[in-house]
A = this chain, B = another copy of it.
């Protein structure tokens, strides 16, 4: 690459665009930035540097490559350096590390990891896409052979080989978040007996615990051993081979291999050493055009901080969708276009052994952490399509919304089919600052095998409206049994007999009109049923007849989730 004249910084960028753009990191954000920039500007010189042997690989596919669901490693390679050169006239340098940035002279130091040779490269614009690295806690044994984290194709290869070469039959996955659960699914798929060690008392930390409890049950049913509420202390090598994971509370978990899926941390060393600002959440600070405070440096992807559109607070969110859009925004900014990144709302999905878990926006604990208290929530368990068509499976759905204005704050869903569809719809409504009234009025696809005349999204909105306008006062599950309320179960006697909330009394909805005089008018009545519908009818009836009726949102199905999460007895 030839050296070029340094542009006059007093000239506006638009009339004098950068001639030489260097991109550090060629996966997701970096690759998307490079390709988009070329489409916008044929005249600019673009080069991409990546420390690893590959560029633009499908990192979200790595667990499935380990699981051999994706059999061919080549399928993970979205693009090659050759393709970048031929199609986009972009030079890609793999196995090449960028070791330093000299912002005053606009020069980066580059080291070829194969030859060891170093060189300098001048830039007019620099884009950092460093990503985030798996956290490896400084504990005894985390560097033993057989202990893996998963970030790239070579990592995946090593895990695959370890499993097949050693005939591994047991694994411990440390961390029960997105990557941890995807690894669980794939290790189970390969026939391993898997134990999850998770420091929190729940899997899937982004979810609220009662929603995560639904996943816990499913994992247990599928033979996965859960060791929750306990952290990693150390990993020992067994004398006869194999490893033992020792938990903080003393449990010893044998494992032929260990996956560390504790989380990731932005890779900020290069940026920090160059004096670029690092935010309080540990990521590189950028503006809405992905530009750092240095006007010649942009940053994108898992290594940066971005605003959460709901809380307004900066966050780090290692997701491929936002990374791709950030790369695009950076390219447009470099090309002189004023596109702005709108922030993130943490829409995500994970498949866990046939279960789908998806969420968007804030969780209840996230709201409380952010100091938000003026919100409400509803639980519901509608079928993923019309009940009268064979095969409907429940979607367990939690919707959080603002009390003052009904604005949607977040949603979580767990089920088998149609789960991420409902979260995508609610995510879209959140994007427009939509309210629960908008969800109630949404006009969505309905045929019996796809949905219902009242789609689960409509139902969630309608239930939330009922809470907001006082038609269905919501009792607090966490306060269950702590006051002197009467717990009324309005299911039929056979349902009640099969399991009910402790101390609940049974008066079926079908008899309520005849027998309601049996109930007290001077005492709060907390009403539940199977999934919430009959209790809602009962709440409306009793409220209008002078009773102090409250609804236990989501009924017995939600009760068992709270109970399984250890939040109630």
Could you tell me which A residues sit within 8 Å of B by CB distance? 28, 38-43, 58, 60-61, 64, 69-70, 75-76, 78, 86-89, 182, 319-325, 328, 342, 344-345, 347-351, 356, 358, 360, 386-390, 420-421, 423-425, 427-429, 431-432, 434, 438, 440-451, 453-455, 458, 462, 471, 509-510, 513, 536-537, 540-541, 544-545
Contacts and interface: CB of A to CB of B under 8 A. Distances in A.
A39 B443 contact: no
A388 B444 contact: no
A434 B28 CA distance: 27
Contacts of A43: 544
A509 to B, nearest CB: 6
Contact of A438 (B324, B432, B443): B432
B446 A321 contact: yes
Nearest to A430: B443
A529 to B, nearest CB: 12
B87 A389 contact: no
27 contacts: A39-B471, A39-B540, A40-B540, A60-B386, A60-B446, A64-B389, A69-B390, A70-B389, A87-B509, A87-B537, A320-B453, A321-B443, A325-B441, A342-B441, A347-B445, A348-B446, A348-B447, A349-B445, A349-B446, A349-B447, A349-B450, A356-B450, A421-B424, A424-B425, A427-B444, A429-B431, A431-B442
Which of A420, A429, A443: most chain B Cβ within 10 A?
A443
Nearest to A509: B87
A313 to B, nearest CB: 16
Nearest to A349: B445
B448 A60 contact: yes
Contact of A444 (B75, B321, B454): B321
Contacts of A423: 445
A448 B76 CA distance: 11
A353 to B, nearest CB: 12
A86 B492 CA distance: 14
Given A510-B86, A537-B87, A448 B64 contact: yes
B446 A320 contact: yes
A537 B79 CA distance: 15
A514 to B, nearest CB: 9
Contacts of A40: 471, 540
B537 A39 contact: yes
Contacts of A70: 388-390
A79 to B, nearest CB: 12
Contacts of A427: 442-445
Contacts of A390: 69-70
Given A347-B443, A453-B323, A61 B389 contact: yes
Contacts of A28: 453
A443 B349 contact: no
B344 A443 contact: yes
Contacts of A387: 75
B182 A447 contact: yes
A42 B544 contact: yes
B322 A510 contact: no
Nearest to A449: B351
A41 B428 CA distance: 34
A458 B36 CA distance: 15
A346 to B, nearest CB: 8
Which of A60, A431, A432, A509: most chain B Cβ within 10 A?
A431
Contact of A441 (B42, B78, B386, B431): B431
A503 to B, nearest CB: 26
A60 B540 contact: no
A513 B441 contact: no
A413 to B, nearest CB: 10
Nearest to A359: B445
A564 to B, nearest CB: 24
A535 to B, nearest CB: 12
Nearest to A309: B443
A58 to B, nearest CB: 5
Nearest to A358: B445
Which of A70, A349, A428, A462: most chain B Cβ within 10 A?
A428
A444 B432 CA distance: 13
A91 to B, nearest CB: 13
A130 to B, nearest CB: 18
Contacts of A320: 446, 453
Contact of A448 (B61, B425, B513, B541): B61
A289 to B, nearest CB: 14
Contacts of A545: 42
Contacts of A69: 389-390
A246 to B, nearest CB: 32
B510 A347 contact: no
Nearest to A439: B428
